[in-house]
Amino acid sequence: MGSLKPYLISEDARAQAAFYIQSLGGEIISVSTHGELMGVQNEFKDKVMHMCIHVAGGNSIFMADSIEPFTSGTGISLTIAYSTEAAAGEAFAKLAAGGKVKYPIGMQPFGLFLGELTDKYGIVWMITAEPKAPRP
């Protein structure tokens, strides 16, 4: 059995990780630079080669600094399901800071509390919660 973990490439992995930890709760588990892991002594020596953060109750996200030009946030959405609408709403509001809301968080016609946004780093997030009680 495998375990899926998103790996985000960033222009500033440390700042992006701090934003996610502040928005979702969590911590940095490990961070290693190109200088530490590969002995690089050039302009990349202090760039993050690998970082692991835990957010929203222990979900792992791996991150690294880009050393080549890239377009962030294309073709992937990250989803976190919360146990309460209040927790989902709080995380949504924090992630939306500086970003763009696509669908405001709220009860959807298909019976799920859901909102979608693009954060200030270009990552698309779908935040959900099961409704407290069955809807008629």
CA–CA dist 34, 90 (Å, integer): 35
Q: Residue 110: what pLDDT?
A: 79
60-78 mean pLDDT = 83
Q: Where in the chain is the domain with CATH 3.10.180.10?
A: 77-129
For CATH 3.30.720, list the domain ranges present in the chain.
7-65
Q: 113 CB contacts (<8 Å, ≥6 apart)?
A: 85, 88, 105, 106, 107, 128, 129, 130, 131
77-129: what CATH class? Answer: alpha beta
The bridge status of strand 26-33 relative to strand 48-55 is antiparallel
Query: Tokens 């930890």 appear where?
Result: 21
Is 3.30.720 the CATH classification of the domain at 7-65? yes
**Residue 48: is its pLDDT beyond 90?**
yes
Reduced to 3 states (helix: H, G, I; strand: E, B; else coil), residue 8 is: strand
> Is the model's pLDDT at 71 over the cut of 80?
no
Q: What is the pLDDT of residue 60?
A: 94
Picking from 15-19, 67-71, 73-77, 125-129, which range would have the lowest pLDDT averaged per residue?
A: 73-77
Question: At residue 42, does pLDDT exceed 80?
Answer: yes
pTM over the 0.85 mark: no
62 secondary structure, DSSP code: E
Q: Which letter does DSSP use for residue 83 in this model?
A: S
- Identify the band that residue 108 occupies on the pLDDT scale cut at 50, 70 and 90: confident
The answer to whether residue 128 scores a pLDDT higher than 60 is: yes
Q: Is the pLDDT of residue 116 over 70?
A: yes
With CA atoms as reference, report the closest residue to 65 among 17, 123, 129, 111.
17
